[in-house]
Chain A
Amino acid sequence: MLEIEELSAGYDRLEVLRGVNITVADGGSVVVMGANGAGKSTLCRAISGLIECRRGAIRFDGADISRVGTSERVRRGIVQVPEGRQVFPQMTVKENLRLGGWIHGKAKEAALREIYDLFPRLEERQGQNAGLLSGGEQQLLALGRAMMGRPKLLLLDEPTQGLSPVAIEQVAEALISIGRRGVSILLVEQNLALAEAVGRYAYVLETGRCAAEGPAAELLSSDVVAASYLGH
């Protein structure tokens, strides 16, 4: 589904990603781990088109999307959940969800119904301003909003950042449930427990390059991760 070949990207003169190769199979679930500054968020931004791809190629469903704009990438099915529980705080839960389906025209009630079935808590809070939700609820809202975009590939940039253990469990359950629906997942995460629960294949990023890759269960318990990510 997603093939990234020798991808280089960055900001101004700073090249953050230097020749990254990553593949996500159709319906697959891939985790990208790495220490702070390794280029995980930059990778997400490059895939979703928020920053330019300087060299290399990003192919999605067989087509080269390296020069395609963010809006078109979302239309084709690449939807990102940005870092840090980003919701529109002044808008209600329902308004946030509707915005998630913006690219496909006016959100249908049936689409909202599906999200409410997936996250019943959001239905209870649908009239409430998103800024008043708890951290965990905001993250579920961000996930629900992304699902309104009918993603084929969901990009998640550290969805557990700053969440309580209970909320992390909720997010893990939600991601597993989303994965069961056939949505491919590319999860950028520092939380080992969530990475192990969700990922089937894993990559370790180190200073903008893939330092290791392999089945998540093996790689995440290996010395490579301990050395490059946990620092021992």
Chain B
Amino acid sequence: MRREAIMRWLLPVIILVIALAAVPFANDYILYVLTIAVLMSTLAVSYDVLLGLTGYLSLAHGFLYGVGAYTAAYLTTNSGWNFWLAMLAAALMSALIGAIVALVAFRTKGIYFAVLTLGIGLVGFQFFLVLEPLTGGVGGFVGIPGIPSLPGLADDPSRNNLVVAIVLLAVTYFAALVFLRSSIGAACLAVREDVTLAQSLGIRVGTARLAAFTFSSAFAGAAGAVFAAISNFVGPDDFSVMATGFQVVVFVVIGGMGTLWGPILGAFLVVCLPEVLRGAATYSVAIYGILLLFFILFAPKGIAGAVLALRRLLPARPASVTQTARHSEAR
């Protein structure tokens, strides 16, 4: 198995085990920070399917996350829907809106795509502000019911939220892996590498990109639904381009584009660092900035790239008897 494939499976399992092991011991504050970090990881993984697989930088992902959050908030609060059904509806709504955005945005490429999605993100933000009957407008949407309790966690909403967030991350991650390994995922990679060559093989470029965008939007919507239920409140500022739109790009770039597991580390680092640096609050923004500069200048492939490079520095193991035999047979 190749190094990257090992990391793709091993690292999420390690994170999952650590997060679950921390559940019984952490206080409510730590549990909340961990929950948000896991939720942002879900958003980052969903975004990596788009950025990593197509190479297109969308700044509308925060808006699609918001569509999911508001959809779930409205359905659970005003229509009395069950949270799980509302989450599914939120994912579908974000996927639908995402598909429409993709159909418009993929008419452009490069910097124009980024600027166009920036515009969509800004317009979406305005919609959240002005559609007051649906979104609560400037004041936001209040009184959103929490996540229903899982068996054994009825008296502990903080732990309940964390476990649900972890399950959503696991589902998103494995769905992304399946997508990546599917024929449509392979088509996305081919299109990213060489559009003309991909076309000459009969790959439908538009369909591949649309599929990646829609998939990515659906899981952003599901993450939004969980965020709404955890916070019991959502406001437009949570989904602005300047906040979530850019932040999710940072998660993926710092973590390592196209690896799926790297963005999880990126999200954890970005979410948890300010909490760790609370003692040096004056310098925390500067430290954050320096960290960004460090990654762009010295580790452009992100944490994942650095980890893989370190693994390559380790001395190679001598070939096993089985491997040697296999090579001899091949010859």
Residues of A within 8 A of B (CB): 48, 50, 70-71, 73-75, 79-80, 82, 86, 88-91, 95, 98-100, 102-103, 105-106, 123-124, 145, 149
Contact = CB atoms under 8 A, between A and B. Distances in A.
Given A102-B186, A102-B187, A71 B204 contact: yes
Given A91-B189, A124-B331, A102 B197 contact: no
B202 A103 contact: yes
Nearest to A48: B200
Contact of B330 (A73, A103, A124): A124
Contacts of A48: 200
Contact of A99 (B186, B204, B330, B331): B186
Contacts of A106: 183
Given A105-B183, A124-B330, A99 B201 contact: yes
Interface in B164-205: 183, 186-187, 189-190, 193-194, 196-204
28 contacts: A48-B200, A50-B199, A71-B202, A71-B204, A74-B201, A74-B202, A75-B202, A79-B200, A79-B202, A80-B200, A88-B193, A88-B194, A90-B193, A91-B190, A91-B193, A95-B186, A99-B187, A99-B190, A99-B198, A102-B183, A102-B190, A102-B201, A102-B202, A103-B202, A106-B183, A123-B330, A149-B201, A149-B202
Nearest to A86: B197
Residues of B contacting A: mostly: helix
Contact of B200 (A82, A89, A91): A82
B201 A98 contact: no
A79 B43 CA distance: 39
Shortest 8 CB-CB contacts between residues of A and residues of B = A74-B202, A103-B202, A71-B202, A80-B200, A86-B197, A88-B193, A71-B204, A70-B199
B203 A71 contact: yes
Given A91-B189, A102-B186, A50 B203 contact: no
Contacts of B202: 70-71, 73-75, 79, 102-103, 149
A103 B201 contact: yes
A207 B232 CA distance: 71
A98 B201 CA distance: 11
Nearest to A69: B204
Chain B's interface size range is 10 to 19
B197 A88 contact: yes
A223 to B, nearest CB: 35
A79 B194 CA distance: 17
B193 A70 contact: no
Contacts of A98: 186
Contacts, number: 62
Contacts of B194: 86, 88
A185 B63 CA distance: 51
Given A71-B202, A74-B201, A124-B330, A88 B196 contact: no
Given A90-B193, A91-B193, A124-B330, 12 more contacts: A48-B200, A50-B196, A74-B201, A79-B200, A82-B197, A82-B200, A88-B190, A91-B189, A102-B190, A102-B201, A103-B201, A124-B331
Contact of A70 (B183, B189, B200, B330): B200
Contacts of B193: 88-91
Nearest to A126: B330
A83 B200 CA distance: 11
Nearest to B198: A99
Contacts of A105: 183
B203 A102 contact: yes
Contacts of B200: 48, 50, 70, 74, 79-80, 82
A188 B159 CA distance: 67
A106 to B, nearest CB: 6
A124 B330 CA distance: 6
B331 A145 contact: no
Contacts of B197: 82, 86, 88
- In this complex, the member of B197, B199, B202 whose beta carbon has the largest number of chain A beta carbons within 10 angstroms is B202
B201 A100 contact: yes
Contact of B201 (A89, A91, A123, A145): A145
- In this complex, the member of B194, B201, B331 whose beta carbon has the largest number of chain A beta carbons within 10 angstroms is B201
Nearest to A70: B199
A48 B200 CA distance: 7
A81 to B, nearest CB: 8
B322 to A, nearest CB: 15
A73 B194 CA distance: 19
A149 B193 CA distance: 19
A99 to B, nearest CB: 5
Contacts of B201: 74, 79, 99-100, 102-103, 145, 149
A90 B199 CA distance: 18
Contact of B196 (A73, A82, A103, A149): A82
Contacts of A70: 199-200, 202
A99 B199 contact: no
A157 to B, nearest CB: 10
A99 B196 CA distance: 14
B193 to A, nearest CB: 5
Nearest to A157: B200
